[in-house]
Amino acid sequence: MQLSSKGLYAVMAMADLARNSQGEIIPLAAIAGRQHLSLSYLEQLFSKLRRANLVESSRGPGGGYRLKSNAYDISISDIMRAVEEPVRMTRCHLEDIGGCVGDSRCLTHELWRALGDHIAGFLGSVSLGDVIDNAYAKELASGVAGHTDSRTDKEAPRDVAAGG
């Protein structure tokens, strides 16, 4: 699979933003610090995310970013496309005009293309909100998050943690 740090970091940073912003502007330096990512690299990624209308920015003191839409309306594939991260399983870069091996396709080309299609479909079906909910549920199950929902300061749903 050809997936670079660009897509992985963009999803990590967007998940951090979704979890910690609650509609407020968050400085990229805060995200970089929490996720142990390069601030200059995040600036490049967020420029692309802004152009794709996934985030909005605020300049000046106290500036940063916030999601432009609800986290449940942003798919992981939206983020990957915004930072120009293709999900490609074949080694063919010019699939439409050539082949994997010279002018023909390799024997396993269709297998890897189909796998890439499944991965793309999966990433399109998972929202940023789904990622945050799953991470929070795992924290609850492990006892890391305690018994209050830090996102809203309300009592967390107990059925998420341990089935009760």
Report the pLDDT averaged over residues 42-61: 95
pLDDT at 47 over 90: yes
Supply the pLDDT for residue 141: 72
User: In whole angstroms, how large is the CA radius of gyration of the chain?
Assistant: 19
* Mean pLDDT taken over the chain: 81
pLDDT-based confidence at residue 161 (cuts at 50, 70, 90) = very low
Q: What is the dihedral of CA 84, 86, 91, 97, to 10 degrees?
A: -80
pLDDT-based confidence at residue 80 (cuts at 50, 70, 90) = very high
Report how far residue 92's alpha carbon sits from residue 95's, in angstroms, rounded to the nearest whole number: 5
Residue 108: DSSP 8-state: T
Q: What is the CATH number of domain 5-86+127-162?
A: 1.10.10.10
Token pair recorded at residue 3: 């997936």
pLDDT at 111 over 90: no
Supply the pLDDT for residue 19: 94
Tell me the whole-structure pTM to 2 decimals. Answer: 0.75
pLDDT-based confidence at residue 1 (cuts at 50, 70, 90) = low
Instruction: Show me where the domains of the chain are located.
Output: 5-86+127-162, 90-126
Supply the pLDDT for residue 66: 96
Supply the pLDDT for residue 92: 65
